[in-house]
Amino acid sequence: MKKFQQYILVVLLAGAALFYFVQKNPGSTGPVTGNEPFDRTTSSYIFTRHARCRMDCRHIDEAEIREIVQKGTINYAKSDPNGRPDPKYALEGRTRDGQDVRLIIAPSSKGLVVITVIDLDREWACDCK
């Protein structure tokens, strides 16, 4: 019985340590901070034809895209900050009507290029190429 209690204590301590680590190191995503890899406040957006098609299929407008760019969370696991010719970032957020979406964006000298828009919860019938 004493070994069982020791086992439970070790499991609880390991769980507490894991919880502490996760809270201190949020992993691949994080909230908007002052140390951003691109300017979220830009007014210059460039939408690819593919992004426009995906937005149309998913009923997402430019205002929702701008809000996700400004307030969304960068998912570094889905990003390519060393991409060429431009780095690419995956931004995740929620639209006004509750869609959880991921944007793939590429900051460039001409503005913020929106490459695609992905609905994380629903597969839409789109004929985007």
Contact criterion met (CB below 8 Å) for 44 and 111: yes
Bridge partners of 64? none
Contact criterion met (CB below 8 Å) for 55 and 120: no
Asked if the bond preceding 85 is cis, omega within 30° of 0, the reply is yes
Contact criterion met (CB below 8 Å) for 54 and 114: no
For the chain, list residues with pLDDT below 50.
Answer: 21-22, 24-32
Q: Note the CATH number of domain 33-129.
A: 3.30.2310
Residue 123: C-alpha distances to residues 2, 39, 42, 126, 128 (Å):
53, 30, 30, 9, 13
Predicted pLDDT of residue 69: 92
Predicted pLDDT of residue 54: 92
Predicted pLDDT of residue 28: 42
Predicted pLDDT of residue 30: 46
Report the alpha-carbon distance of residue 46 to residue 83 in Å, rounded: 18
Predicted pLDDT of residue 43: 81
Domain ranges of the chain: 1-30, 33-129
